[in-house]
C-alpha cells in the first residue's frame, strides 16, 4: 500500500509537469495490480481528456490558442463534474500544468494583439489567481479596469474580490464584490466566488425559499444584513444621480411588471442600500437616510413573498436600523 501511495505521488508530479504519456504508461501498469483503484481511473480519464486536446497547447499563427485552451479548461471542469471526479490532487496537478502553459500563451497573445484586449487580461488575471500569483492577478485586473468600462467589469470585480480576500484585505474585497453585485448580478457566478462567507450566504438564501436562479440577486442584500460586505465604493455626484435614476426606474417597473419581481425587487433593495450608504457616510444626511430606511422596510414587508426570507430580512434590518438610530441620537 505504501508503494501505491508513493506511485500516486509520482503520477501527480508528472501530471503537473505535463508528461501525459509517462503518466498514462505508469498508471496502466499500476492498474494491472490495482484494477479497482478509483484514483488511477481518474488519473487515466484526465490524461485521455487532455491528450485528445494537445493541439491547444501550441501557438499557431492562425489560431488564438490561448483563448481556446482557456475554454477547454472549463470543458474539463464540466467533464469532472459529469464523471464525479473528486481527487483534488489530480485536479491541482493538471491545473498547474494547463494554467502554467496558459500564462505563456495568453501573454504572447496579448503582446501580439494590435490593440489592448481586455478579455485576454481577464483570462490572464484569473489564471494568475488560480496559480497563487495574487499580486500579479491584482495588477493585471486593475489594469484591465483602467482600459474603460464594459459588460465584463462585473466579472473583473469578482476576480479582484477573490484576490483581495485571498490576501486578507477584506475591506477591498467587500468593495469589489459590492461593485460586481450592483453592476450586473447575472454575470456573477456564485460558484466562482471564493470568499467562504459569501458562499455560505448563498446556501442560506436558497434554504429560505428563494429560487436558485435568483440567489445571486439577493446575495448583496443578505450580505448587508449579515455584515459580510461592509464596505462600498464612494460614489461621485454623477453616480449619485444615476443611482437615483436607477431607483426610479426600478420602482416604476415593479408597478406594472409583476412577473419580474423576483429579479427587480432585490435589485431595488440593493440600490436603496447604496443610497443609504451615500447618505450615511458621504454626505451625513440623517433625515434622507431615515426615509430610505422606511422604504427598505416597506418594500421587504410588502414585496417578499417567501415567509422565511421576509421575516429573516425584517428582523435583521430592524436590528441594524435600530442601532443606526442610536448613533443618530448622539
pLDDT tens column, 236-282: 999 999 999 999 999 999 988 878 899 999 999 999 999 999 999 89
Would you say residue 84 has pLDDT above 60?
yes
Would you say residue 161 has pLDDT above 80?
yes
The answer as to whether 222 is a domain residue is no
**Distance (Å, rounded) from C-alpha 18 to C-alpha 22?**
9
The answer as to whether 48 is a domain residue is yes
The answer as to whether 255 is a domain residue is yes
> 58 is in which domain, residue-wise?
1-111
Q: How many domains does the chain have?
A: 2
DSSP string over 42-92 = HHHHHHHHHHTTGGGGS-BTTB-HHHHHHHHHHHHHHHHHHTT---HHHHH
Q: Which helix (H) or strand (E) holds 214?
A: none
**Distance (Å, rounded) from C-alpha 44 to C-alpha 52?**
12
pLDDT digit string (tens) for 269-323? 999 999 999 999 899 898 999 999 999 999 999 999 999 999 999 999 999 988 8
- The model's confidence at residue 219, banded by pLDDT at 50, 70 and 90, is very high
Boundary-marking domain end, from 53, 86, 111: 111
pLDDT of the residue at 193:
95
Boundary-marking domain end, from 86, 111, 136: 111
* Close Cβ partners of 214 (under 8 Å, ≥ 6 residues apart): 262, 263, 266
Partners of residue 60 on adjacent β-strands: 63
pLDDT of the residue at 288:
93
The answer as to whether 304 is a domain residue is yes
Cell numbers 505563456: residue: 104
**Distance (Å, rounded) from C-alpha 37 to C-alpha 33?**
9
Boundary-marking domain end, from 111, 137, 153: 111
Give this prediction's pTM.
0.88
**Distance (Å, rounded) from C-alpha 280 to C-alpha 292?**
11
The answer as to whether 292 is a domain residue is yes
Amino acid at each position: 500500500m505504501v508503494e501505491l501511495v508513493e506511485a500516486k505521488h509520482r503520477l501527480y508530479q508528472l501530471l503537473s509537469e505535463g508528461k501525459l504519456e509517462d503518466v498514462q504508461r505508469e498508471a496502466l501498469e499500476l492498474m494491472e495490480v490495482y484494477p479497482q483503484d478509483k484514483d488511477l481511473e481518474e488519473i487515466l480519464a484526465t490524461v485521455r481528456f487532455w491528450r485528445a486536446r494537445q493541439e491547444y497547447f501550441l501557438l499557431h499563427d492562425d489560431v488564438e490558442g490561448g483563448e481556446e485552451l482557456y475554454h477547454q479548461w472549463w470543458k474539463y471542469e464540466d467533464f469532472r463534474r459529469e464523471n464525479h471526479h473528486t481527487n483534488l490532487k489530480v485536479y491541482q496537478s493538471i491545473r498547474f500544468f494547463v494554467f502554467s502553459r496558459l500564462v505563456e500563451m495568453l501573454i504572447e497573445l496579448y503582446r501580439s494583439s494590435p490593440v489592448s484586449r481586455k478579455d485576454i487580461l481577464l483570462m490572464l488575471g484569473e489564471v494568475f489567481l488560480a496559480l497563487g500569483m495574487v499580486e500579479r492577478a491584482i495588477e493585471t485586473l486593475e489594469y484591465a479596469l483602467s482600459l474603460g468600462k464594459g459588460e465584463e467589469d462585473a466579472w473583473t470585480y469578482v476576480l479582484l474580490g477573490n484576490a483581495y480576500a485571498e490576501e486578507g484585505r477584506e475591506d477591498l474585497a467587500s468593495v469589489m464584490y459590492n461593485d460586481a453585485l450592483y453592476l450586473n448580478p447575472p454575470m456573477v457566478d456564485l460558484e466562482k466566488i471564493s470568499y467562504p462567507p459569501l458562499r455560505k450566504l448563498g446556501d442560506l438564501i436558497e434554504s429560505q425559499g428563494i429560487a436558485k436562479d435568483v440567489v445571486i440577486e439577493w446575495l448583496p442584500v443578505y450580505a448587508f444584513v449579515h455584515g459580510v460586505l461592509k464596505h462600498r465604493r464612494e460614489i461621485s455626484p454623477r453616480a449619485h444621480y444615476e443611482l437615483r435614476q436607477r431607483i426610479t426606474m426600478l420602482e416604476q417597473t415593479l408597478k406594472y411588471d409583476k412577473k419580474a419581481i423576483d429579479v427587480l425587487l432585490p435589485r431595488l433593495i440593493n440600490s436603496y442600500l447604496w443610497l443609504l450608504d451615500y447618505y450615511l457616510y458621504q454626505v451625513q444626511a440623517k433625515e434622507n437616510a431615515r426615509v430610505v430606511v422606511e422604504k427598505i422596510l416597506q418594500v421587504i414587508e410588502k414585496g417578499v413573498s417567501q415567509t422565511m426570507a421576509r421575516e429573516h430580512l425584517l428582523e435583521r434590518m430592524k436590528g441594524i436600523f435600530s442601532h443606526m438610530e442610536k448613533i443618530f441620537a448622539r
